[in-house]
Structure 1
Amino acid sequence: MVDEMAAGLAVTGATTLVTPTSSSAWEAARTGVVQLFRRAGTEEHQLVEAQLEQEASLVQRDEDPERVRRDFHGGRKRKLIDLPRAHPEVVGELRDLVASVQAQLPREGMSGAVQWNTTTGNATGNFVQGGDALVL
């Protein structure tokens, strides 16, 4: 159950943390993610920091920043799924970081829609609310 919760949180985190690469929430997201990896005691925090900076730079320079964000989503998701599985002590901090960054994102253009998706048993659900879903 903890793995499922951590994985769900990681997916939300990856989506949330991809969004702000060119917004004022970026610094909080980048710093928070690097701190998560540092607190978990992994040496990977330096690599994560360099990757986040490179991704932000590419998003800002590219003609299609949304495409670039989507390209990076999978890699961030994988790292954020693996981190709490290996270091369950960071789950609460990841939850707090996601909430903090979401609160800093601009609300303009956002609808008031809420989407709840539930799968049970051995089912797999792939849900999209606007945009594309790449299922591998």
Structure 2
Amino acid sequence: MATSQYYRVKRNTQTIFVNTANPNADTVLTLKQRIIKALSSTKERDESAAAITHPADIHLFDYKNTSRPVDLVDSKTLANSGLVDQQIIAMVFKTPSGAWEDVYIAPMDLAADLDDLEDEPEEVEYRASKGKERA
């Protein structure tokens, strides 16, 4: 019996959560197509991500062993690729020059620090006064 799984596809500080209903039937190519769909529907515009329209522009890596990520082959199923539920998958894009980006996933503490900066309210000096101020 097949169970659904999700994967965390990461590039720099970006994370895309991708679900699959059947990892024994879905292929890496299917996963790439879902990633392209997610990239096109994102609210934040990343120019390099916006240029990705074809699965051949994405390269995925099994990121269990961070010192040596393993290439994921398009024709293999997700299960046969060794991917498990909640697996981190590294993603890189093909650059306009045709080369591939370096594999880089921001450390969790760096990503958390960036999130914290966005959530902190700005300090605003507020002074309530009624009527005119006195000199």
Q: Same fold (TM over 0.5)?
A: no
Query: Normalising to structure 2: TM-score of the pair?
Result: 0.25
Give 1 or 2: higher helix fraction.
Answer: 1
Structure ranking higher on relative contact order (CA contacts 8 Å, 6+ apart): 1
Q: Larger C-alpha radius of gyration, 1 or 2?
A: 2
Question: Comparing both structures, which one devotes a greater share of its residues to strand?
Answer: 2
